[in-house]
Amino acid sequence: MILMKDIVREGHPALRTKAEEVKFPLTDEERKLAKDMLQFLKNSQDPEIAEKYGLRSGIGLAGNQINFLKRIFAIHIEQENGEALSFIAVNPKIVSHSAEKTYLPQGEGCLSVDRSVPGYVPRYARITVKFYTLDGEEKKMRLQGLPAICFQHELDHLNGVMFYDHINKEDPFAPIPDAFPLEAESEA
């Protein structure tokens, strides 16, 4: 299973490397790592397992974060209705997006960043995305709210981009044109 020691931190070159497209069919190793990534998120959100293994709670994890430089990430978000938005995305892309932006008013964090970096991180409010499942099935989805923000954070990782690259250096909390704050759900 993936533990915190397996997650690379700031300064590791994997976080600044563009991950490679995955070819189908996936190798057994690629499939296993992808499934382990999703399982890590579930484990990290289970209070007992998280405490036992010292896991920091996460809603997304990208290949780069475990030094696996393929275009794969996992997202697991428990929603207000009790259902989970949970998937593994292979070769993900944004096919269209709103002009309107959004941001988490408390800013963003990252499992690969062991410090808080204050400031607004502008994200598209609504995105239409395409990706492949582990079995090579193409999926198209519309996302908004936290899932849209998370998808953009993970896609950035695959391109070697960190959340704080988007923060206004002169004034981290400067108002963002055409953006609204995504009202805080509690931290997962």
* CB closer to Ni ion, 28 vs 109: 109
Supply the minimum distance, in Å, between the C-beta of residue 35 and Ni ion. Answer: 19
Q: How many residues bind ligand N9Y, per CB under 6 A?
A: 22
Where does the chain show beta strands of DSSP type E? 60-62, 72-78, 84-97, 101-103, 123-124, 126-132, 138-144, 179-181
Q: Is 154 a catalytic site residue?
A: yes
Supply the minimum distance, in Å, between the C-beta of residue 25 and ligand N9Y. Answer: 26
**How far, in Å, CA of 64 to CA of 166, rounded?**
19
Taking residues 142 to 161 in sequence order and writing x for each that binds ligand N9Y by CB under 6 A, - otherwise, the string is ----x--xx--xx--x----
Q: How many CB atoms lie within 10 A of CB 5?
A: 7
- Site for Ni ion contains 26 (CB under 5 A): no
Distance of CA 16 to the CA centre of its chain: 15
- Site for ligand N9Y contains 111 (CB under 6 A): yes
Tokens, residue 68: 């696996």
Residues annotated within the binding site for Fe cation are: 110, 153, 157
